[in-house]
Every structure is written in structure tokens, then in C-alpha cells.
Structure 1
Amino acid sequence: MKLIVGLGNPGPQYEQTRHNIGFKVIDELAHRLQTPLRHSKFNGMYAIVHHGNEKLILLKPLTYMNLSGESIQAMMRYYDVPIDHLLVIYDDLDLPVGKIRLRQKGSAGGHNGIKSTIAHLGTQEFKRIRVGIDRPEPDISVSNYVLSTFSKEEQKIMEEVISRCADSCEKWLEMSFIEVMNQFN
């Protein structure tokens, strides 16, 4: 069983923000796999789907970004998901808009959702897809920036990026994560 988690904040006011790119990828995967996120438990919305020989959980934690690890930890414990079967998707200020980076492990890099995940799981050793949202102009605070929406030009780029991220997740169901990294990085 594999668990793919998209980080974001719940509620319509956050739906289109930069910080919710993880939720957008999960929504795209759910659409492709024809499995709406109907279940509500573990402080999250999730779906379980069979894809080929693989059982897959798609999760959107509803704890708000800073507490994402609570939901992830509860889901992993309940379904006995091993750490090497976890993939977390989130926004990254250190990458330009439209750039993605797949990694097998790493630090939080200042991302509060990843800080929470590391704290609750007790390890940095989990797979992740970092999605570039770029840095704000010097006169804009980071918190205001990540809760802002993309420009029209950026939205077009992000639609392609969301699709590319979903592609990489589907490939992970068929091949090793290293092979997926080599293909998508």
C-alpha cells in the first residue's frame, strides 16, 4: 500500500492559493483514477483505490498546513503504511514557478507542513515532490505570498505542472522512485 499526500489548507478561501498546490495534485490524481475523496477521518479527506496490483491512498490533510504531520501520522499508523511508501507533495519557495524536484529525503527547508511531518514521523527519510512557486518580491511577506493566487500566466504553467506531478505519481506506482526521479527531475 502506498500513500500520496498533498499539502494545503482547507476551505474555499485557500483553494486557489500557492500554498495549496499539493491539494491540486491530489485532486488531479483522484480525477484520473476516478475516485473522489469521500472518506473523512484522521483529520483529512482521503480515498483508497486499487491501481494495477497496487493499493493506493490519496490524502489531503485538513489540519491546516502547520499541523499536516498529525493527519499523515494517523493515516500511516492506521493502515500500517511503511515510511518508504509515503510520498508528500508541497509548494516550494526556493524553486521557480513551474519547476518540480523529486527527492527521496531532505530537510523541511523552512516549510511548516514538512516541519510538522518530520516532527510527527520522526524522520526526514520520506519521498517528496517539491513544486516551485518562486519567492515573493521584497516588499511582500512570505505568509501573504503563499496565500496569494497565481497570475494568469502562472496559472497556465501550473496547470501543466499539476499534470506533470500527477504523471510522476502514477509512474511511481509502476517503477522505483529513483527511476521516476530520473525521468521527471
Structure 2
Amino acid sequence: MGLLDLLRLRRKEDPTVAANTWLVVGLGNPGAQYAANRHNVGQMVVDELAARIGASFKTHKTPSRVAEGFLRPGGPKLVLAKSNGFMNTSGGPVSALLKFYGLEPDRLIVVHDELDIPFDTVRLKAGGGHGGHNGLRDILKATGNVDFTRVRVGVGRPPGRQDAADFVLKDFSGTERATLPNLISDAADAVEAIADLGLVAAQQKFHSPA
């Protein structure tokens, strides 16, 4: 039995790790040079959630930074995580976190940028493929499971003939930055709704016409 297996057993025996615990992973790349990129919007969302629950990110035994807290007293517990590695190596840290906390993939919420959704739009789904997203691709490979929930944060398609990979590795435009706080807030609201109400109720709320 390895170290992570022992830690998982301890977590299962810990009454504070309730069935209502959710692992929320914000995808992105490490380092200040990437922090404001479109590809890092998932990490921006978990930063917002950490601020809401009054938690700080700390180095974790897995290759991640983690912040933990409750939506409200007696409410769902959120384990917020950002990998220490790059986007295309997201799978190992996510798999290790699931094992550490003794959680199944159906208790995982991955927040990520989505090219196929217009900017300033949030969509929610469970299951499915990776759609060309390297972070999702590596999570699917590492966990061998598609049954996790995705909060898809729309960044839109690149203009003209700009390469999609270059587009997501650039910062949001000036016009987008004016609206970005609202988008991040909406995505954080969506995570809270999934944890609190369930996916179907959250989809009804966020997919309904304004």
C-alpha cells in the first residue's frame, strides 16, 4: 500500500470528509506569464471561489496547490485545486487528488476555457470527450473516467485565421477584461450551484435564456 492509499484511508475515516465534498479543479498553466491568459480562466474561477469561502491556496502533498472550505456552515465542502504543472499534464495531479481525498470522479468539477462557447457564456455538462482540450485529454487518460462535471467558460473562437493554440495563450483583450469579472463570477456561481443543488438544477439556472 502506497502513501496516497494510506492518506486516502485516513481521509475516509475522517468525519470532516463528508459525502458532500467536491473536488473543484481550475485548469491552467503555472507562472506569472500565463496568469492572465484565456487558457487560465479556470484558475481565475477557483481563485474567486477561494476568496468567497475565505480560504488560501497552500502547497499540497500532491503536485498541486489546494484551498479547502465550506460554502456555508453545514453546507457542501469545496476542495479547490490548481496543478503545479502545465495544462497538458493536468491528469496526474487530478488523479492524485481524487485518491488523497477518497473521492470518485463523479465528485469532480473541472473548470476550463472553452473555444466553442461565446465569450461571457458559461455552460455545464457531465461526461463526454475532451473536444481537443489538452487539459481534459490528460485528465481522461489519467482517471480512465469521463463521469466528471465540467464548467465550460466560454472564451470564443480566435478572429480571422489566428491559431487556436496561440489565441488561448494570449491575455484577454481590453474589451473582454471589462466584462471578465462578471464571467468569472458567473462561473463561480455555477460551481456553487452544482455543489449545492446538483447538476440538473444548475443547468436549468445557467442555460435558461436571460
- In structure 1, distance between residues paired with 2:195 and 2:46: 15
1:123-142 mapped onto 2 (5 Å cutoff): 123-142=145-164
Deviation of 1:38 (Å): 1.7
2:172 to 131, 136, 150: 150
1:29: how far off? Answer: 0.3
2: CA distance between counterparts of 1:20 and 1:75?
20
How far 1:138 sits from its partner (Å)?
3.8
Q: How many residues align?
A: 185
Q: Does residue 43 of the first structure (1) align with residue 63 of the second (2)? A: yes
Measured in 2, the distance between the counterparts of 1:139 and 1:179 equals 38
Unmatched 5+ residue regions in structure 1? none
1:2/1:86 contact within 8 Å kept: yes
Residue type at the aligned position of 1:149: D
Structure 2 alignment gaps of length 5 or more = 1-20
Q: Paired residue for 2:143? A: 121
3-state SS, counterpart of residue 13 of structure 1: coil
Q: Is the 8 A contact 1:97 1:158 kept in 2?
A: no
2:194 aligns with one of 167, 172, 177: 172
2:12 maps to 1:12 = no
Q: Is the 8 A contact 2:151 2:190 kept in 1?
A: no
Superimposed CA distance per residue, residues 30-63 of structure 1 (whole angstroms, 9 cap, x where no aligned partner): 0011101123332111112133332220001121
Higher alpha-carbon Rg: 2
Which residue in 1 is equivalent to 2:44?
24
Take 1:176 and 1:140, find their aligned partners in 2: how far apart are those partners? 38
By how many angstroms is 1:158 displaced? 1.9
Aligned partner of 2:100 in structure 1 is 78
Q: CA RMSD in A?
A: 1.2
Q: 98, 102, 116: which one pairs with 1:94?
A: 116
Cα offset, 1:135, TM superposition:
1.4
- The TM-score with structure 1 as length reference comes to 0.95
Greater mean deviation of Cα atoms: 40-49 or 22-31: 40-49
Give me the identity figure in percent.
36
Distance 2:22 2:92 in 1: 18
Corresponding letter in the other structure for 2:54: Q
